[in-house]
Each structure stands twice: as C-alpha cells, then as structure tokens.
Amino acid sequence: MSLKRFGVSLEEELLTDLDLIVENQRFPNRSRAIRFLVNDHKTRQSIAGNQQVTGAIVLVYDHRIARLHTEVANLQHEYHCMVLSSQHIHLDEKNCIETIAVRGTADKVIKLSNKLLAIKGIRHGNLVASSIE
C-alpha cells in the first residue's frame, strides 16, 4: 500500500476540532487522525449496511453467581458459527472479564452482544466492532 499526499481545506472550527481529536486521542499527527476517522466511518457504514464485521464483546461479571458463566457459555454455543474464541480472566477473588471474539453480519453480532449484555448480573459490557475490509 502506497501513501498518497493531498491537501485539505477546512473551516477554522473544523481544524480546531481535528486538532482536539489529535490531542485527545494522542495521534502523532493529523494524517493519523484522518485515517482513523475514515476507518471509523467505514465501520459505521458496514454496521448500518449489515455487512460482515469482526469484533469483541467484553463482559465483566461476578463469577460467584454460578448461572452467569453457564448463560454466557450457552449463548456462545447458540451462536457458535460467529464465535471465534473466548477468553476468561480472573480479575480478583470475585470479578471476571470475558472477551468473546466474533465475526458475522452486523445485525447478528449486535444481536448476540445485546443478548449477552442483557443477562442479569452482567456488571458491564461493550461491543467493539470493525469492518473486515
């Protein structure tokens, strides 16, 4: 992949916004920020267009609630064609974090994520998805 240089004209407010993105995200320069924003837009379009995406669903929960692990595992089996892998980490004597790598159409990935996040006892969770292209 070769890099192409081009000029960009922005209103002063937009340039200030871009510079804030560079600073807040700690990008080394504006070019890296623009690359990030274009890729982020592509991912949003993939999700909106129900295209193939890949990502991770991250769950935090109290492992002492025995049924939680079973429910999380059962849903992964129900969606086995989308689940690529799962990693379970013990954070301390009661809290665990589970990261589930997924791949599929955006609607199915979101549906699985929503079902997992809706399990009673899940303390926190999030889906991070990206377009495959």
Q: What is the pLDDT of residues 113-128, one digit of tens each?
A: 999 999 999 999 999 9
Stretch 31-36: mean pLDDT, rounded? 93
Q: Domain-by-domain residue ranges, the chain?
A: 12-48, 52-131
Q: What pLDDT, in 10s, does the model give residues 87-122?
A: 999 999 999 999 999 999 999 999 999 999 999 999
User: Rounded to two decimals, what is the model's pTM?
Assistant: 0.80
Distance of CA 25 to CAs 12, 16, 102, 111, Å?
20, 14, 26, 29
Distance of CA 64 to CAs 68, 69, 72, Å?
9, 9, 14
The second-level CATH assignment, the architecture, of 52-131 is 2-Layer Sandwich (3.30)
Residue whose C-alpha is closest to residue 97's, from 57, 55, 72, 61: 61
pLDDT reported for residue 66 = 84
